[in-house]
Structure 1
Amino acid sequence: MEEIRDIPWEIKKWNWDAFMFNITWGFGNKTYLPLLCLIPLFNLVWVFVCGFKGNEWAWKKGDYQDVDTFLAVQKTWDRAGLIGFIIGIAVLILYIFVLIAIFRNITSELGPLYF
């Protein structure tokens, strides 16, 4: 039977990598609940659950001797997730600007629309 590990309060915080790269992060931390992110529409909610609960899942599945070791390992994962989030937001903003430019170009070529 699997031993239930107490979850220290220091690790109960947001995990950027579990939020952004949930499936990869899940395999790396031997926790497979992030695989539920493969379910369309359900994943829109589940990515946030992964972000909130990721550290707890990793702590339960890992062989960490102390909280400091756990936090050091998760810090590298967390940094990658935060950078991925920032890049994702930047790409989304760029995409929106490109769509606006295309729309403006199309409407200026059509001239005024009369209904």
Structure 2
Amino acid sequence: MNTSGQGAASTLPPEIRGWNWGAFFLNWIWGIGNSVWIAFLMFIPLLNFIWIFVLGAKGNEWAWQHKKWDSIEHFKKTQHTWAKWGVILFFVGIALYAIYIIIALVIGGYFTLLNN
């Protein structure tokens, strides 16, 4: 029986227990998409570093409780999509940061040459 979207009365199917990478990487954005408003606690300084791990650990449970899903397969497919985009955006962020560092080093080296 599908008990999704019934809050605390929902029964979490064993198939969906486990870590949620979408909740971990996309935290508050994932929270909006899954009606898990407690995800906004990640905006509290110092709590946010811990909270992403809480979201990763509890994400599947909270998403199942707070949103009505057509089936377990629908839930798993949707959460897989969240996870995929979370990982993609994480690596895009790392790549952009690396490009920023390289540009800063190149510009810094250029001005060092000009001053000599």
Tell me which interval the TM-score lies in, with the shorter structure as reference length: 0.7 to 0.9
Cα distance in 1 between the residues matched to 2:44 and 2:15: 31
Percent of matched pairs sharing the same residue: 39
Please tell me whether residue 38 in structure 1 is matched to residue 36 in structure 2: no
Query: What's the offset of the Cα at 1:22?
Result: 1.7
Structure 2 portions without partners, runs of 5+: 1-5
Say which structure is richer in helix.
Answer: 2
Q: Which amino acid aligns with 1:56?
A: E
**TM-score normalised over the length of structure 2:** 0.73
Match of 1:100 among 94, 99, 105: 105
User: Which deviates more, 30-39 or 69-78?
Assistant: 69-78
TM-score if structure 1 supplies the norm length? 0.74
Cα deviation for residue 38 of structure 1 reads: 1.2
What is the letter of the counterpart of residue 43 of structure 2?
L
User: Could you list the runs of 4 or more consecutive aligned residues of structure 1 that deviate by over 3 angstroms after TM superposition?
Assistant: 102-111
Give the letter aligned to residue 23 of structure 2: A
Matched pairs, number:
111
How far apart in 2 are the matches of 1:14 and 1:104?
44
